[in-house]
Amino acid sequence: MGEGAAWWAAGGAAAAAMLLVLLVLDAAVRGLHGWYREVALGEARRARLPPGEMGWPVVGAMWAFLRAFKSGQPDAFIGAFVRRSVSSNQFGRTGVYRAFMFSSPTILVTTPEACKQVLMDDEGFVTGWPKATVALIGPKSFVAMPYDEHRRLRKLTAAPINGFDALTAYLPFIDRTVTSSLRSWADVSADGGEVEFLTELRRMTFKIIVQIFLGGADDATMHALERSYTNLNYGMRAMAINLPGFAYRRALGARRRLVSVLQGVLDERRAATAKGFTRSSGVDMMDRLVEVEDEHGRRLDDDEIIDILIMYLNAGHESSGHITMWATVFLQENPDVFAKAKAEQEAIVRSIPATQQRLTLRDFRKMEYLSKIPFFDNAPNQQSYVDELYLKVIDETLRLVNISFVSFRQATKDVFVNGYLIPKGWKVQLWYRSVHMDPQVYPDPSKFNPSRWEGHSPRAGTFLPFGLGARLCPGNDLAKLEISVFLHHFLLGYKLTRTNPNCRVRYLPHPRPVDNCLAKVTKVSDEY
């Protein structure tokens, strides 16, 4: 053997030894971390935990989570848990896994039945968002509120945004906002310009929610709120690193600005009331929150009102804006679906009397293909919601886009799911995305295929775009109405031409093309 070869052999042996040391060290650190997090459970309870591990201290599964989402393969994250569990030949597809995420030992729940069990068990589980998210949305908002307080304020705030009367009242404003937005984007495109379609849609849905919650706002307030919400959202699913240059730090700053703008609005309103002024725009959500008293006559403090408003204004525009964009993109990319949806809209327009200026809520209920909205005549949020849906274009979009891909709970007692223990005090993540992208539930799940819903009623727990149970989204019908109104006008008179049709999609905090869907919106018909 020559000198060079001996040198290589020695080097190779040293590298192998080093690798071995690293592997042993890695296994030892993981083992110790797992032991530290689980030892308090005792042997018997520990043996009942679902498959998985705590990983390295501090990071746990966060790297794997961020790597999967940032590399454009979000389903690879849960996929790895399922694969490991199945290939260990011990567990099969358990639907529950353990991991260390957002600084806490966590159980990941990924199948319809398991999600349903957790979501419907109000005694066993309370809300459990990571501390970093609570700090952004607000410790006095629904994300961290005690059970009874949540029930009371949810009842107060949900009825005025969903239900037949509320939606009938909002429809004319939504319709006007949609038509004027479409017209203005078409004007930009007619002059040779382009619009960031997603940014514009977020602005549009924001205008609607600000009208409902604050009775509208002047341009400066609108602008300040809008910009702050963009930064707040970018920090929402980022690592909670409070250092200059990090998204989370910018989000904390955005929250401070939101608090200050809303405090200003609240102060003005209180001052006007003290002087005996009444507003012409009628009662909005801020008024309701100012007026409400509990059974002891206690009113909400300003910081409570502001946190609830920050939460609602955020939840009430981000998701609707994104889903409207994706539904429009999917329709435009699928000419057959577009033609069918357009034919439905044309038929509805033909069916209304010539004297009727715009569609009524009842006309929207006729839209079997676009999406039938299940109004509950002032009794929103009943559990039957899930069974009553007609799921077509909008619902297929909700399934495929998975705008709220995960939601958070915490166990208040030991609970067994699929035969595995969720220990008291542990965090629980409900992976709505995994349910919607499961090929056993939805064959060929990555395909946009509204006809998969023809004659099909989803089994309970298999369709969770708005969650389920006590925390089912209170804005579900409003969101579907906004999206339907938009698609109605878009289908009848417009066309979307993307500048970068194959633009990369970013999945955090919400799935969106990185160019925010830069496009031309062209008017193609003057008839409507």
142 forms part of the interface with ligand HEM (CB under 6 A)? yes
320 binds ligand HEM (CB under 6 A): yes
Question: Which three-class secondary structure state does DSSP give residue 397?
Answer: helix
**Residue the block writes with tokens 């109405």:** 481
**Could you write out the DSSP letters of every residue in 314-373?**
HHTTHHHHHHHHHHHHHHHH-HHHHHHHHHHHHHHHHHS-TT--S--HHHHHT-TTT-B-
Per-residue contact string for residues 255-294; x = within reach of ligand HEM by CB under 6 A: ----------------------------------------
The contact pattern for ligand HEM, residues 427-466, with x = CB under 6 A and - = no contact, is --------------------------------------xx
Residues 75-134 binding ligand HEM (CB under 6 A) are none
Using an 8 Å Cβ cutoff, are 487 and 512 in contact?
A: no
Separation CA 402–CA 281 (nearest Å): 35
C-beta of 85 vs 319, nearer to ligand HEM: 319
CB distance 511 to 501 below 8 Å: no
Q: Is 161 in the site for ligand HEM (CB under 6 A)?
A: yes
- Say if CB 217 and CB 279 are below 8 A apart: no
Name which of 411, 473, 420 is nearest 118 in CA terms: 411
> 51 vs 321, which CB is nearer to ligand HEM?
321
Q: Does 311 engage in binding with ligand HEM (CB under 6 A)?
A: yes
The reply to whether 467 sits near ligand HEM by the rule CB under 6 A is yes
Query: Rule CB under 6 A: is residue 153 a binding residue for ligand HEM?
Result: no
> Which window, 58-66, 367-375, 452-460, 468-476, contacts ligand HEM (CB under 6 A)?
468-476
Quick one: which segment of 16-24, 195-203, 263-271, 467-475 binds ligand HEM (CB under 6 A)? Answer: 467-475
CA dist 192 and 61 (Å) reads 47
Structural element, H or E, at residue 259:
helix 247-274
Interface with ligand HEM includes 475 (CB under 6 A)? yes
Q: Which is nearer to ligand HEM, 207 or 471 (CB)?
A: 471
Residue nearest to ligand HEM (CB): 475
Separation between Cα atoms, residue 457 and residue 482, nearest integer Å: 23
Considering the rule CB under 6 A, would residue 315 count as an interface residue with ligand HEM? yes
116/520 with CB nearer ligand HEM: 116
Range in contact with ligand HEM (rule: CB under 6 A) among 9-17, 175-183, 312-320, 360-368: 312-320
Distance CA 521, CA 528 (A): 16
Indicate the DSSP class of residue 513: E
Q: Which part of the chain contacts ligand HEM (CB under 6 A), choosing from 13-21, 347-355, 402-410, 516-524?
A: 402-410
Q: Tokens in use for 279?
A: 């507003």
Distance of CA 237 to the CA centre of its chain: 11
Q: Quick one: which of 289, 479, 487, 491 contacts ligand HEM (CB under 6 A)?
A: 479
Binding segment (CB under 6 A) for ligand HEM, from list 291-299, 314-322, 416-424, 494-502: 314-322
User: Binding residue per annotation — 473?
Assistant: yes
Smallest Cα–Cα separation from 484: which of 328, 318, 312, 319?
328
User: Which long-range contacts (C-beta less than 8 Å, at least 24 apart) are formed by 255-258?
Assistant: 255/135, 255/136, 255/138, 255/228, 255/310, 257/224, 257/228, 258/225, 258/228, 258/229, 258/232, 258/310
403 binds ligand HEM (CB under 6 A): yes
Cα–Cα distance measured from residue 405 to residue 498, given in angstroms and rounded to the nearest whole number: 26
Which positions from 191 through 230 interact with ligand HEM, judged by CB under 6 A? 209
Residue 485 interacts with ligand HEM (CB under 6 A): yes or no: no
| Contact status: 404 vs ligand HEM (CB under 6 A) | yes
Nearer to ligand HEM, 154 or 237 (CB): 154
Annotated binding site for heme: 473
Q: Which residues bind ligand HEM (CB under 6 A)?
A: 142, 154, 161, 209, 311-312, 315-316, 319-320, 323, 398, 403-404, 407, 465-467, 471, 473-475, 478-479
